[in-house]
Amino acid sequence: MSYQNQPQQPPQQPPPGWGQPPMQPPGWGQPPMPPRKNNAGKIVGFSCLGIVGAFVLLAILGSLVSSGGDTTAKSGGKTAVASEKPTKAAEKAEKAEKEEAAEKPKKADPKPKPEPAAAGPVKVSAKKATFTPGVLHDGGKYTSVSITIANNGDKPINVNPLYFSITDTNGTKHTAELAKDERQIDTVDLAPGENITGVVTGEGEFTAKYVTYTDGLFGDPVRGNVS
């Protein structure tokens, strides 16, 4: 079949809009916006780190303060103990002294000593002598002392063997024994400036320490040490 004789028809026009890309809704073909970065997490993280750091710092400061206080307390305690030691030592020493003083026996008041021979008008000198039996010696043991008595006053004094006594080294007092020694001192009155020597005898064997003379019953005693 031949188409050469058929008349040519003009080319047909495509309908309007054909061949054009279809219309897209506004914003459809645009790439999606990237999500915004959220900084809230970072802020929270930094806040937590700050809080933790603050707690750590406070803990360190607290430990330093505590250690300093302990050191001060210890040093203060040591100072207090050191200051208390001398006080306690002084108290112990004082207590020991009081106890020692309480244990010591109280010293007895010394007996009044007779007036020295040179202090008054009468002077008594004495020395050891050998016992020489007299007419009234009964065979017993006796001790004799040779005595010299001088009147240095301005009044006469009476001398009598009974006015003398002998005290031995043990403190025992021996009264004079009459007529036991043939050299017994005489009974006389001594005028001022006069003196007399004789023997005074005591019963028993002893070591004479001093001789005491008393003028009469109310006179003052005068002592002479035995040499």
What is the pLDDT, as a whole number, of residue 148? Answer: 97
Asked if the structure places residue 173 within a domain, the reply is yes
In the chain, % helix, strand, coil (3-state, to 5) comes to: 30, 25, 45
The label of the residue with tokens 């002392």 reads 145
122, pLDDT greater than 60: yes
Asked if the structure places residue 40 within a domain, the reply is no
**Together in a domain, 134 and 201:** yes
Asked if the structure places residue 150 within a domain, the reply is yes
pLDDT bin (cut points 50, 70, 90) of residue 51 is confident
Provide the residue range defining the domain that includes 206: 115-225
133, pLDDT greater than 70: yes
Q: Which amino acid is at 141?
A: K
Q: Are 149 and 190 in contact (CB under 8 A)?
A: yes
What is the pLDDT, as a whole number, of residue 56? Answer: 74
Buried b (16+ CB within 10 A) or exposed e, 70-89: eeeeeeeeeeeeeeeeeeee
**Together in a domain, 206 and 147:** yes
What is the pLDDT, as a whole number, of residue 1? Answer: 45
Asked if the structure places residue 22 within a domain, the reply is no
What is the pLDDT, as a whole number, of residue 42? Answer: 53
Asked if the structure places residue 15 within a domain, the reply is no
201, pLDDT greater than 90: yes
**Together in a domain, 129 and 82:** no
Of 149, 126, 111, the C-alpha closest to 210 is: 126
Asked if the structure places residue 149 within a domain, the reply is yes
What is the pLDDT, as a whole number, of residue 118? Answer: 47
157, pLDDT greater than 80: yes
Residues 22, 25, 29, 35, Cα dihedral to 10°: -170
What is the pLDDT, as a whole number, of residue 117? Answer: 42
Alpha carbons 45 and 71: distance in angstroms, whole number = 39
213, pLDDT greater than 70: yes
